[in-house]
Amino acid sequence: MSETIVQTNKLVKKYRRGKIEIYALNGVDFEALRGEIVGVVGPSGSGKTTLLNMIGGLDKPTGGTVVVDGRDLTKLDAGELADFRLKKIGFIFQFYNLLPIYTALENVEVPLSFAKVPKEEREERAFELLRLVGLETRVDHKPDELSGGEQQRVAIARALANRPSIILADEPTGDLDSESAISLMKLIRKLKEQHNQTFINVTHDPLVVQECTKVYTIRDGRIQLNEKT
Ligand SMILES: Nc1ncnc2c1ncn2[C@@H]1O[C@H](COP(=O)(O)OP(=O)(O)OP(=O)(O)O)[C@@H](O)[C@H]1O
Ligand SMILES: [Mg+2]
């Protein structure tokens, strides 16, 4: 039960802007176990998104290590990282990046076609995922024919399509009304219970924090595990 799935060790990410160096992450030790719902909170500019980018293999750290599901990401080349992201990680980021010319169903199918899932199974799985997020009557709608919250749910269905073991979410309830936020957290809890998936949520939302099994606070690129309250 207590298998470590994500671990960072003395993680550093330094950005340079002209002569100025910014330590977005400055020695971060972070751990998530399989099946945990982890919260990451902290002020704007503290390094939260940078941490998700490192765990998701979207960007390379300046120092330290990131081990995800037994693999040291700093040792993978670009092709291996792309493959790792496709198979292991689901991203729910602030900008949904849905493809405007595709329907909701087709958008959810995109990662499945990258993973070479045959057409029929692709459609079936995409439909099932859209049902899971309560959009079974919207499968043929294009993004501009959906509300903001509905688009967010399509993005969630898409993030779950390849059954990733880790889902990284940056402000997942940011644009949702409280009813949709509650149903999203219910869904996350259900997925954790059914599939033992791990969620790492960057959030300001007390509704999300309340559902987390543990919460970290980042300040100025340094991280601390919150005491249980
Ligand atoms: N590509 C970049 N180049 C230079 N500096 C960057 C870059 N990306 C982020 N930073 C800086 O690194 C710091 C951490 O940024 P990050 O996006 O991780 O913050 P955050 O905690 O996600 O903030 P927010 O809550 O506003 O989304 C900030 O000071 C930011 O300005
Ligand atoms: Mg951010």
| pLDDT tens readout for residues 133-149 | 889 999 999 999 998 88
Which residue out of 22, 94, 201 has the highest number of ligand 1 atoms within 8 Å of its CB and is therefore the one to mutate?
22
User: Which tens digits make up the pLDDT trace of 69-124?
Assistant: 999 999 999 999 999 998 899 998 866 689 999 999 999 999 899 889 999 999 99
Task: Write down the domain spans for the chain.
Answer: 4-225
Nearest residue (by CA) to ligand 1, atom 19, is 45
Q: Give me the chain's average pLDDT, please.
A: 91
Predicted pLDDT at 229: 59
228: pLDDT confidence band, cut at 50, 70 and 90?
A: low
**Per residue, what are the HEC states of the chain?**
CCCEEEEEEEEEEEEEECCEEEEEEEEEEEEEECCCEEEEECCCCCCHHHHHHHHCCCCCCCEEEEEECCEEHHHCCHHHHHHHHHHHEEEECCCCCCCCCCCHHHHHHHHHHHCCCCHHHHHHHHHHHHHHCCCCCCCCCCHHHCCHHHHHHHHHHHHHCCCCCEEEEECCCCCCCHHHHHHHHHHHHHHHHHHCCEEEEECCCHHHHHHCCEEEEEECCEEEECCCC
pLDDT, tens digit (0-9, with 9 covering 90-100), for 22-80: 999 999 999 999 999 999 999 999 999 999 999 999 999 999 999 999 999 999 999 99
Q: Does any ligand 1 atom lie closer than 6 A to the CB of residue 45?
A: yes
Q: Is the CB of 203 under 6 A from ligand 1?
A: no
Look up the CATH superfamily of 4-225: P-loop containing nucleotide triphosphate hydrolases (3.40.50.300)
